[in-house]
Amino acid sequence: MVLAFKDLDFRYGRKTQVFSGLGLRVDSGSTVLLGPNGAGKSTLMALAASQLFPSQGSVSWRDLSPTGRRDRRRYRKAVAWIPQHITPIPGLNVREQVAYSGWLKGMSRSAAWEASGQAVSRVGLADLAQRKSHQVSGGQLRRMGIAGALTHRSELILMDEPTAGLDPQQRAVFRSLIEELCDSVQVIVSTHQTEDLADLYRDVVVLDRGIIRFQGTTEEFHSLADSVVSPREQAEAAYTRLVSREA
């Protein structure tokens, strides 16, 4: 199944052009979108999630386009976006907020509630299901966001900088969860961090200043680093080679 961007133009206001004629097709089960801050990663993810709409061109998933009202509801049920900052809803506990995510996507209250129990367990939050959502950690909030996506059976989950600000233990838990998710849903993760690429992702897309600098397998990405030994050093060297460091 393919997430496709075709001839995409997008700008903020009249002067800030982010994309001009961008084309990209993503069909891997697990893809990492790499790029420095300001490269356009979050904007591209928001366009993929139909939170923003292009001024020209199209975005589609399985031939569903969110720009058309007829397809938009089906598109948003299939494609889930988990932003970097997840806002807890006052008064709701973890399971209630997860169930609410399903209800927002068109599920009945009873179906959302039933599915939320399985989703909360799957992300390792069963012991915290009754805790108020504003009383959990940042890493637990992000897992709660994933549980919401699983509740309405998303086919594609978009995650924007999911490990930013997490401590090493939280990062390890999150990496394990991503590995498990990739067996059943497609995942696209945007980040500027190059750790763990070989272990977690099959494909790499490098975005810089609104331009795709690279798209290929993780092995092809690492091969851009000539004489570096460790996978982490390979990833850092390949990334540095592709991305301009100029201000």
- Edge-to-edge, what's the strand order for the sheet holding 203-208? 79-82, 156-160, 186-191, 30-34, 203-208, 211-217
Closest by Cα among 41, 7, 13 to 188:
41
141 in helix, strand or coil?
Answer: helix
Identity (one letter) of the amino acid at 219? E
Instruction: Check residue 99 and give its pLDDT.
Output: 97
Q: How far apart are CA 24 and CA 69, in angstroms?
A: 23
Neighbours of 175 (CB within 10 A): 16
Instruction: Check residue 247 and give its pLDDT.
Output: 39
In this structure, CATH architecture of domain 3-242:
3-Layer(aba) Sandwich (3.40)
Domain map (residue ranges) of the chain = 3-242
Confirm if 216 and 203 have CB atoms less than 8 A apart: yes
Q: How far apart are CA 229 and CA 231, in angstroms?
A: 7
Instruction: Check residue 222 and give its pLDDT.
Output: 87
Closest by Cα among 108, 199, 97 to 140:
97
Residue segments in the chain with a per-residue pLDDT below the cut of 70: 196, 227-229, 244-247
Reading phi first (left if > 0) and then psi (alpha if -120 to 50, else beta), residue 45 is in: alpha
Tens of pLDDT, residue by residue over 204-231, are: 999 999 999 999 999 999 888 876 667 7
Instruction: Check residue 197 and give its pLDDT.
Output: 78
Instruction: Check residue 229 and give its pLDDT.
Output: 63
- Edge-to-edge, what's the strand order for the sheet holding 16-26? 16-26, 3-12, 56-61
Instruction: Check residue 203 and give its pLDDT.
Output: 95
> Any idea what DSSP says for residue 88?
P
Q: Kindly state the percentage of the chain with pLDDT values over 90.
A: 62
Tens of pLDDT, residue by residue over 234-245, are: 888 888 888 865
